[in-house]
Amino acid sequence: MTVRTAHADDLPILQDIERAAGRCFRDIGMPEIADDEPLSLDELARYQRAGLAWVAVNEANSPVAYLIADRVGGNFHIQQVSVHPDSARRGIGRSLMDHVADRAAADGISALTLTTFADVPWNAPYYARCGFRPLDENELGHGLREIRAREAAHGLDRWPRLCMIRHGAEREAPVEDGGWTMKSE
């Protein structure tokens, strides 16, 4: 699997990947998340133009997964990572995060952060296996607090949420993704 920066013509495919990955939330009683529309093409284009959108591609150079990030509090904040269900359980999400961690280190950025559902198996437990650890409330900077406030306003706090961090060197040996398709909300 190859990871590369996203191209403009990849963006509609990223929306399709997110929709497909989101379907599994319906199976665990979170239909609102399953039905949540992906970012618009204009929003995805902003990430792509800023060089903050990466895709994992198959042999035909077609995206099967993607990750977008923002710069928040001096770190790369993973805004979204989604793997198409047809490509799940192959370490693709982990490869995307490792690629972004390497890019962050090359740019002098020491950590990755994200916000996620605490009790969804392919969210916080998965990210913990990928080297992320939960942040205590008193560890949150202004940027992460703003993100959490926007998430709460969007209704995501209906389910337990948390912020997590992974410092550049925090990697574990690859493990199975637990049979879940990843979509981080």
- Model pLDDT for residues 104-130, shown as the tens digit of each residue: 999 999 999 999 999 998 999 999 999
Domain ranges of the chain: 2-167
Are 72 and 171 in contact by the 8 Å Cβ rule? The answer is no
Q: Which helix H or strand E contains 75, and what residues bound it?
A: strand 75-83
- Model pLDDT for residues 96-110, shown as the tens digit of each residue: 999 999 999 999 999
Task: State the maximum Cα–Cα separation within the chain, in Å, rounded to a whole number.
Answer: 46
Burial of 67 (0-12, 13-18, 19+ CB in 10 A): buried
- Model pLDDT for residues 44-63, shown as the tens digit of each residue: 999 999 999 999 999 999 99
Name residue 167's amino acid.
Answer: H
The CATH homologous superfamily for domain 2-167 is: Gcn5-related N-acetyltransferase (GNAT) (3.40.630.30)
Q: State residue 168's pLDDT score.
A: 72
Q: What is the pTM of this model?
A: 0.87
The dihedral through the CA atoms of 6, 104, 132, 119 has a sign that is negative
* Cα gap 21→61, rounded to integer Å: 19
Contacts of 93 (CB under 8 A, 6+ apart): 65, 67, 81, 83, 126, 130, 177, 182
What is the average pLDDT value for the chain, to the nearest integer?
89
